[in-house]
């Protein structure tokens, strides 16, 4: 089965994408508007997976490092990069 990743940035100009419509899969009701993506949805797939893994491991970087086959500081550096990106996204003005 093909996994469809949610695109978060425009393939043409690389700007952040927004949600234009939402559809109810049961009754086909469509809601249209301009909605911002939640902060976590703006991260790319790898970063989202890292955050999920972090939560599942109760925030233990040691456990994550063991599972990922990486050293502790490498995992901590990945986490720091995600924290920086989250801070940047939070500071970006909403369109």
Partner 1 sequence: MKTNIWNPYERIAGTKALLWGLGLTFIACYFGYLGKIHFDGIMDIHIGKSHPYIIYVSEALINLVSISLFLYLASLILSKSKIRLIDIVGTQAFSRIPLILPAIFGAIFPLEQASAYFLYKYANMGSPVNISTFEIVGFIFFLFSNFLAIIWMIIWMYQAYKVSSNLSGTKAVTSFIISILLAEILSKLSIYFIIKP
Rounded to the nearest whole angstrom, what is the least distance from the CB of residue 79 to partner 1 in the complex? Answer: 9
State the number of binding residues for partner 1 (CB under 8 A).
9
State the sign of the Cα–Cα–Cα–Cα dihedral 23, 95, 48, 57: negative
Alpha-carbon span 14 to 8, nearest angstrom: 9
Alpha-carbon span 40 to 61, nearest angstrom: 20
* 32 interacts with partner 1 by CB under 8 A: no
Residue 21 or 77 having the CB closest to partner 1: 77
Q: Which of residues 50-69 bind partner 1 (CB under 8 A)?
A: 69
**Residue among 86, 95, 69 at smallest CA distance from 17:** 95
Residue of the chain from 76, 82, 85, 89 that contacts partner 1 (CB under 8 A): 76
Rounded to the nearest whole angstrom, what is the least distance from the CB of residue 84 to partner 1 in the complex? Answer: 9
Contact 58, 47 (CB under 8 A): no
Rounded to the nearest whole angstrom, what is the least distance from the CB of residue 95 to partner 1 in the complex? Answer: 29
Alpha-carbon span 68 to 25, nearest angstrom: 37
Can you give the binding site for partner 1, defined by CB under 8 A?
Answer: 69-74, 76-77, 80
């Amino acid at each position: 089965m093909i996994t469809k990743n949610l695109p978060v940035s425009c393939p043409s100009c690389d700007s952040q994408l927004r949600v234009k419509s939402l559809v109810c899969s049961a009754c086909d009701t469509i809601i249209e508007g301009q909605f911002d993506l939640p902060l976590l949805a703006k991260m790319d797939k790898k970063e989202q997976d890292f955050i999920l893994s972090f939560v599942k491991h109760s925030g233990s970087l040691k456990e994550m490092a063991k599972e990922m086959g990486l050293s502790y500081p490498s995992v901590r550096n990945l986490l720091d990069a995600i924290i920086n990106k989250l801070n940047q996204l939070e500071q970006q003005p909403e369109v």
